[in-house]
Amino acid sequence: MDHGGHGMDGMNMDLPPFTLGRGLEFGGDPIFLVGCLLGLGLYGWAVIRLRRRGDAWPVGRVVAWTLGVVTVALVMCTRLNDYGMAMFSVHMVQHMVISMLSPILLLLGAPVTLALRALPAAGRGRKGPRELLVALLHSRYMRIITHPAFTIPLFIASLYALYFSPLFDFLMESRAGHIGMMVHFLAVGLVFFWPIMGVDPGPHRPGYVMRMLELFAGMPFHAFFGIALMMATEPMVDTFVHPPASLGIEALADQQAAGGIAWAFSEIPSVVVLIALVYQWYKSEARQSQRADRAADRNGDKDLADYNAYLASLNARGQ
């Protein structure tokens, strides 16, 4: 299979040589554009609803969510989306951002927690959006798709089973297939990082050490994938074998660039997630320490008094 499918768009056959300026021009996919605007709008509505009620919502979470939506928009609502249909390297930037950077930022925004706090309760015996969300969070389906035995293989298979099989070429024949693939990458990233980030409630809340192990179980496979593309002596994906002449690129060199991007990107989320986990761990320990101090204040250091009484009784018995 060659690049013939790209002719369906008519646009990719005469793309000018890639520059960052051209890549970031507005354009791209209306589905993602509507999704990004909805994401910002609904999150903003929920935060305003909380504030009007007198409840606080951390500014850091608003910033993280906004950055997450912006990263999705940057790779999907610009001309990068056109170049990504014809250049393996640009496609790989889209894939890595939308599957590994955007999900982490979106999850740090704690959208599920925000929804649970902002949505009104439906009332006795009735089911509204809040009740449906709670039911979904506690469902067997959610327990399965957020379990490491599901998320880690899915995260790995999204690379190897997709790129090294005819499925990738089939999806890349049409813009709809390409968009569907990107939606899948975003969903897989969200499902993989959700239990690891542990910001929102979910069926699986592993301890901090287990979260780090889950993170490191998936990342090396991204690095190996990138190295495989860089070391290859011939193009490995049919879609990008014959790039449009107007781009002035060579397929193998572009594939090696794509491999370098995949390899380098495997480190970025690891660092971001590790920083977030260590910070959460620190905050958790600080909260536990505060709780212990408050309990001691309430008891009037009863434990210490009991211990001193015990020592005194031992002392009396010794005499």
How far, in Å, CA of 158 to CA of 105, rounded?
20
Amino acid 88: pLDDT: 94
| Amino acid symbol at 218 | G
Three-class SS of the chain: CCHHHHHHCCCHHHCCCCCHHHHCCECCCHHHHHHHHHHHHHHHHHHHHHHHCCCCCCHHHHHHHHHHHHHHHHHHCECHHHHCCCCHHHHHHHHHHHHHHHHHHHHHCCHHHHHHHHCCCCCCCCCCHHHHHHHHHCCHHHHHHCCHHHHHHHHHHHHHHHHCCHHHHHHHCCHHHHHHHHHHHHHHHHHHHHHHHCCCCCCCCCCHHHHHHHHHHHHHHHHHHHHHHHHCCCCCCHHHCCCCHHHCCCHHHHHHHHHHHHHHHCHHHHHHHHHHHHHHHHHHHHHHHHHHHHHHHHHCCHHHHHHHHHHHHHHHHHC
Q: Write down the pLDDT at residue 160.
A: 87
The whole-number pLDDT of residue 297 equals 63
| Predicted TM-score (pTM) above 0.85 | no
Low-confidence residues of the chain: pLDDT under 50: 1-11
Locate the domains of the chain by residue range. 20-119+139-318
pLDDT of residue 2: 40
